[in-house]
Amino acid sequence: MKIQKPAASSQVAPLPSVSTDQSQVAPKKISDQLVSSNQGAQVSVPQQQNEQGVGRPNGGSHTTPAQHPNLSAEELTAIGKVGSAGLKGRGEIKGSIKLEKGKAFLITANKGSRSEVKFALDLTTKQAKGLAGKEVSVSGMIDKKSPYGGKITGAKVATAIGGETAKIGDHRTVSGSIVNRNIMAIGGEAPPSGSYLVLDKPLKIDGKQVKEVFIRGAEMKEGEKVELYGRLDNQSFGGVETHGGSVVVLSGVSNVGAGEPKFDGKDFISTLGKKLMVLTDPRPSFHDAPAHLFVLDEGHDTAFFGRSGGHIPPTVNPFHGFVGSGKIEEPKDSDKGQVTFDAEGKAFNKAGKELYLVGEEPGGNHPDAMSRRWFLDDDSKTIYRFESGGIAGFNNALFSVIRLGDE
């Protein structure tokens, strides 16, 4: 029986892998509006195309996270410093842009030194234009080829938000120029009208850059340069007839540049950093009206007239700002004898009307310490300060007056 040799098997060269998706995603255009990026944020792997660009026969795709995983926050911190050669993966890191011979690099550590860490970016000359020296965040495929750098492919650049970090609820001093606006919208849904402070230095609040704040409860002169203190709040508008939005508000405003004390949420503090005495007006008023306050800055011989409380939601700043001021003066001859006291220490004006006790300070234990009491005469719009005690044995001696005028 003749045995036939088997025919040589034919070999077919494999076809080169071809991606079913030939399109390339262009790097994101840098918006004129600044966008914040958190270091260590992970960048998702595209679902339409894997890292090798190999498509499935049926037009689908698959990912290979084991080959190029998203870098952890710890790895992203390490990759931006000297070391970690060979580390590769997707992520986002921060640094400053440096241009060399038309090519863009991200400097992440030791800028300008021999141990500078930099990554080459696959940006075109047009994309890199205007970025030199700017602090940015760059996301993409990060490949640390040596301890001192590597490259980032598919680089997407976001300029870092400038400004000091703040948060809603902070009490702080801000400065800038006043712009007055009267804004109209359907159904009264416009942003608030009134005075806005265009900030000298922007603030970074909740990942957004804030360049101006609305001044609640105060109308100021157009173009005026001011230094103000208050609480940062958020006020929403619109949402029904018009597109909804919000503005950052400065509430409980003090013009510290003009010498007004600031309210820090608990106490009134002078420009010299001293806690101040506050007199509370007990005069009857509407149940939902703010109360009158008299803040005594005796270091500057000035009393500031303010408003506080009223029928307001608990989230609203209880201090509504100052409406005026008056001098703390030595009494004139005409002031003497205007007030008399009964045996119980109550004060009365010449018409026999009892005065309101608006504040008092005990004398303490020191032998020559004086107790002080302030009384308000509603008829003459005057606050009288009387002192008692001390070595001289004063008894309701008149020491100063504050004339309220039309406060």
The CATH architecture one would assign to domain 73-159 is: Beta Barrel (2.40)
Tell me if the domain spanning 164-258 has CATH number 3.90.1200.
Answer: no
- Report domain extents, the chain: 73-159, 164-258, 262-328, 330-403
Q: What's the whole-number mean pLDDT along residues 309-314?
A: 87
| Stated length of the chain | 407
Question: 82-119, pLDDT tens digit by residue?
Answer: 999 999 999 999 899 999 888 899 999 998 889 999 99
Of residues 278 and 241, which shows the higher confidence score? 278
Q: What's the whole-number mean pLDDT along residues 386-394?
A: 84
Question: 179-214, pLDDT tens digit by residue?
Answer: 999 876 565 677 889 999 999 999 988 878 899 999
Q: What's the whole-number mean pLDDT along residues 279-288?
A: 79
As a whole number of angstroms, the distance between CA 350 and CA 209 comes to 60
19 band by pLDDT with thresholds 50, 70 and 90: very low
As a whole number of angstroms, the distance between CA 330 and CA 298 comes to 12
Same fold: 73-159 with 164-258? yes
Q: What is the pLDDT of residue 288?
A: 75
What does each C-alpha distance from 231 to 117, 239, 324 come to in angstroms? 41, 25, 20
62 band by pLDDT with thresholds 50, 70 and 90: very low
* pTM given for the model: 0.61
pLDDT at 147 over 60: yes
Q: Longest Cα pair distance anywhere in the chain, in angstroms?
A: 149
Residues 6+ apart with CB under 8 A from 129: none
* Phi and psi angles of residue 252, each rounded to the nearest 5 degrees, phi first: 60, 50
Residue 274, token pair as written in the block: 């001293």
58 band by pLDDT with thresholds 50, 70 and 90: very low
